Amino acid sequence: MTETPASAGVRIVEVATDRDGQRLDNFLLGQLKGAPKSLIYKIVRSGQVRVNGGRAKPETRLQGGDLVRIPPVRLSEPGDKGAPGKGLLEAMSASIVFEDDRLLAISKPSGIASHGGSGISFGVIETLRALRPNQELELVHRLDRETSGLMVVAKKRSALRELQALMREDPAVNGEGISKRYLTLLAGRMPDGVMSVDAPLHVNMRQGGERHVQVHREGKASLSHFRVLERRGGHSYCEVRIETGRTHQIRVHAQHIGHPVAGDPKYGDEAVNKRLREQTGLKRLFLHAASLEFALDGGRAAYLLDAPLAGELVEVLDRLS
């Protein structure tokens, strides 16, 4: 990767070949360390960021050799925010559920963001990098801050590229992508069997960079499959398999079918959330990324990664039975 000399002015950065296929917003997060995502979206949508001289969108996929114009952005010095606290470092170290020479997987606790920004100094990736200062670590995907469960971090650029390709829902890899399984508690009694929700989702950006998602005919195709595992206290403990990975997909699809995720402050039922909080102590979103299944090396290296249901969610189920 080459660039103009660092200065207070505009930089023109040439995308390295090993970044081929990376989203523009993720590329900029790497270039502008510590920048909140809201700022990244703002400078892209205002046209201050250019790719090969033209305007681009945050989701634009870059290619090796592209020239990215990055405007001057005032950020805190890297040392200004200090280091992750001992408790966070210990929690992140304890959360590792799998590791080999290509990747590591954690069971992310609820309440920890995937990365810093928007008033959050340290997320998963910053904390892992503090734990492993001499190792190159890159997020493969993200989870909502309130969601617990499996997250995969690449230790090698080759693994990152292959995993991100599997994540893209490319028809060319249909049937060979990543199988994603979640566990959730939905409000009310879901019907038996599998309920498939095929409803396009559109992301609205609100003031301050907050994302709000809704079902909209002009949104991106989104497909989720809900299956009831157990009935608990008049509610439905479900397995969810998703074929696409849209922002807030499970939460919005659950709301769309009239059975919102328990404890969801944004898309949920306020009265149900209050009753569950009083009855079971549920104080968080009941959504957990339980397993990921995929294969690297063109299908030769199979992975099946699991993260047990978070302890506080197990307690909620016990109190409902």
Q: Which of the residues are catalytic?
A: 144
Polymer length of the chain: 321
Taking each helix axis as running N to C, give the angle between helix 86-94 and helix 124-131, from 0 to 180 degrees, rounded to the nearest 10: 90
CA distances from 314 to 253, 287, 320 (A): 23, 12, 10
Phi/psi of residue 242, each to 5°? -115, 140
Instruction: Please say whether the beta carbons of 19 and 68 come within 8 A.
Output: no
Instruction: Please say whether the beta carbons of 216 and 200 come within 8 A.
Output: yes
| SS3 state at 182 | strand
Residues 308 and 63: their CA atoms lie apart, in Å, by 38
Residues 202 and 208: their CA atoms lie apart, in Å, by 18
